[in-house]
Amino acid sequence: MSNEEKAKQSLDTAKNLIGNLTSSALALKESNPKVFYGAVGGVALLLLLVIFTGGEKRPTVEQYTKKSLAVGQTYSLKSPNSYDPASTIRLVPAPGTLAAYDDTEEADRTGTCQHFPQGTSVKVLRLQDAFDTANSFAEVSIEGGECNGKTGWVLAIDLQ
């Protein structure tokens, strides 16, 4: 038998099976409608159950807890708003400019001592309030590396 003949035979078998199931279902509907509609409802219920209970377990989102910062203490840079451990945190010259910088210039992304990897050790020099929130910004000094002693401002939530 060729592949075409096997495919045609399989298609005919499938058509016959579907025709038999349909005729049996219609015969059941005519002879005992309560059982027929109960079976249809049961299949629909099982389908809904599979749709709404399936899926993988997702990790819970960690909630950020504001840390009490103290001037003179050493912390590490860690952004609670980033899932990427390779993302960097930028030091800016003034506390109000954190969201206002333009990151489109190549020199701005690769300039020395502007972007620091998470986990970089910093020392808090002073804190500043903003938006009716105490200690929203922190002026920090980089501890170690080629940028040792470089100062700039970060959001206080980026200090862990």
pLDDT digits (tens, 9 = 90+) for 39-89: 889 999 999 988 888 777 777 766 667 778 878 888 888 887 777 777 787
Please state, rounded to an integer, the average pLDDT across all residues of the chain.
78
Q: In this predicted structure, what is the pLDDT of residue 110?
A: 53
Lookup: tokens for 83: 């899932």
Summarize the confidence of residues 2-14 as an average pLDDT. Answer: 82
Count the Cβ atoms, other than its own, within 10 Å of residue 139: 19
Q: Are 122 and 147 in contact (CB under 8 A)?
A: no
Crossing angle of helices 33-53 and 3-31, in 10° steps, is 120
Confidence of residue 11 (pLDDT cuts 50, 70, 90): confident
Closest Cα partner for 149 from 116, 123, 129? Answer: 123
Give the C-alpha separation, 83 to 135, whole Å: 24
Residue 133 has pLDDT above 80, yes or no: no
111 or 159, greater pLDDT: 159
Lookup: tokens for 10: 């399989």
User: One-letter amino acid identity for 148?
Assistant: N
Q: Distances from the Cα of 30 to the Cαs of 34, 38, 56, in angstroms?
A: 10, 14, 42
CA atoms within 13 A on the CB side of 137: 19
Give the C-alpha separation, 160 to 156, whole Å: 9
**Position of tokens 């299949």?**
43
Give the C-alpha separation, 141 to 153, whole Å: 9
Please state whether the predicted TM-score (pTM) of the whole model is above 0.75.
no
